[in-house]
Each structure stands twice: as C-alpha cells, then as structure tokens.
Amino acid sequence: MIRIAAVGDIHMGPESQGVLRPAFETLPECADVLLLAGDLTRHGTPEEARVVAREIKDLGVPVVAVLGNHDHHDERPEEVTAILEDGGARVLEGQETVVECAAGRVGVAGTKGFCGGFAGRNAGEFGEPLMKEFVRTTRRHADSLRTALERLDGQDCAVRVALTHFSPVPDTLAGEPLEIYPFLGSYLLAEAIDGAGADLAVHGHAHAGTEHGMTSGGVRVRNVAQPVIGRAFHVYHLQVPERVSAPVGGQAH
C-alpha cells in the first residue's frame, strides 16, 4: 500500500506561519509523500513563499508541488519556485519526479494546468489571437502533463499520480457556480491523463467543489483544496498493482 498525502489552496501569508506545521510533522507516521496542489501563497510574493518553505522544511517525507494561479499573481513564479525548492519541495511544471517508498516507486507528473472548460462547453482555438493563445496555453500544459506521465511509464513506478492545480474534470467542481466552470479547469488535462495513464489525479483550485471525481477513462480524481477536504491534508491509499506497467490501476479511498 502506498500512502499519498495531499492538500492544495493553503494560501499562506506571514501571519499564518506555523498553522500547518504541527499536522505536517505527523506525516512520517501516516504518509509516504506529500503533494501540494498549488495556491500555496496568497499573492505569489517571495515573503509568502518563505512562509510555506518553513512550513514544509525537514518533514521526513518527500514533498512534491505545483504552483497555482495565486502563486503567479506577483509575476515571480521562478522566484517562488526557487524558495520552495530551498525548503525541500520538488516543484513541477511539465516535469516528473520519482519518489522511493517502502512499497514501491511513486511517479508524480505535475503542471499548474489552465482553464478553458469541459467537453461541449469549452473554448476553442478560433477567432482573435488572444482567444487562440488562451486555449493554446491550456493545450501546452496538458501536452506537458501527458509527456511527463509517459516518461514515468518507463521508470518502473508502482503507481503514477497526475498533480495539477486546475481541475481535469467537472465532477469535482460540483458546488461551484456553473458560470465559472470554464475558469476552473479543462477537459484537455483529463485527455492527457487518460492518454498516458495514471492511478490517481490530484488537483485544487475549486474551493466550493467536491472531493471525488473520475475521468472518462476511469482514473480517480481528487479535489484536495483545503476548504474542500477541511483538514491540513488528506491521505489516499493506493494498492500496488501486480503489473506495475499497467497504464491505469490502483485504488484511491
């Protein structure tokens, strides 16, 4: 059994230093890895990133993260990334990493993702250059996620996890106003996950959404935005499949 702890949308600022640390310090007892699904800061400032870095430093389990839209607000994502990595996190953007656990290797592919909507109610690459670029931005994120998952397929991983900030499915948005669904995720992310294969997909962003969802290809999706899970993190247990090269498998509870 592989234990995946995950949370997103912790939105930390200077006055919240130490709020999550006591819970995070229990992670070695209950989890093999901590995934952070973006919006770790409020406005993407280096000061806020340093708060997060102190919160996750020397936890005793690997920490893998993606940035969210809030982490881009100050337009210094590279600096935010560097600070988080100094704190011990591996920050992914169209990349993958492998975590060694007692029960097997965990492959994590990550990207922030972007918006655009879901099948039948989505933006298309048509019209003004700005609209085309909007959709192409989402496609680039999705393509990078697919490629990262595909690279993991050859690395003897027991399970593979897709980590994003924006949602790949509408299921986990239930509770949000329908009018803002196109700004909360994109079906292109789900296509990438189903195309390359994964055992679990984790995202944040939808504060009023729902925890449980699934791609059309059968990959379990979990919205781990902190307002949704209502705790410092939630732990998902993945069964290690007998054939580790299977593109879709495992169980998330």
Per-residue model confidence (pLDDT) at position 127: 85
Mean of the per-residue pLDDT values for the chain? Answer: 94
Per-residue model confidence (pLDDT) at position 243: 54
Per-residue model confidence (pLDDT) at position 252: 57
Per-residue model confidence (pLDDT) at position 116: 96
Both tokens of 68, joined, read: 């969210």
Both tokens of 158, joined, read: 């027991």
The CB-side HSE value for 5 (13 A sphere, CA atoms) comes to 21
Which of 155 and 120 is assigned the larger pLDDT? Answer: 155
**Around Cβ 121, how many Cβ atoms within 10 Å?**
12
Give the whole-number percent of the chain exceeding pLDDT 70.
Answer: 95
- Asked whether residue 244 carries a pLDDT value surpassing 70, the answer given is no
Residue pLDDT, tens place only, 137-174: 999 999 999 999 999 998 999 999 999 999 999 999 99
Residue 197 burial by Cβ neighbours in a 10 Å radius (0-12, 13-18, 19+)? buried
Contact (CB, 8 A) for 32 and 188: no
Give the whole-number percent of the chain exceeding pLDDT 90.
Answer: 89
Q: Which pTM was predicted?
A: 0.93
Query: What average pLDDT does this structure show over 58-86?
Result: 98
Tell me how far apart the alpha carbons of residues 170 and 176 are, in angstroms, rounded to a whole number. 10
- Asked whether residue 245 carries a pLDDT value surpassing 90, the answer given is no
Contact (CB, 8 A) for 172 and 222: yes
Residue pLDDT, tens place only, 4-40: 999 999 999 999 999 999 999 999 999 999 999 999 9
Per-residue model confidence (pLDDT) at position 249: 46
- Asked whether residue 251 carries a pLDDT value surpassing 80, the answer given is no
The CB-side HSE value for 79 (13 A sphere, CA atoms) comes to 14
What is the side-by-side strand order in the sheet with 95-101?
Answer: 95-101, 104-111, 159-164, 200-203, 220-223, 212-214
Query: What average pLDDT does this structure show over 86-96?
Result: 98
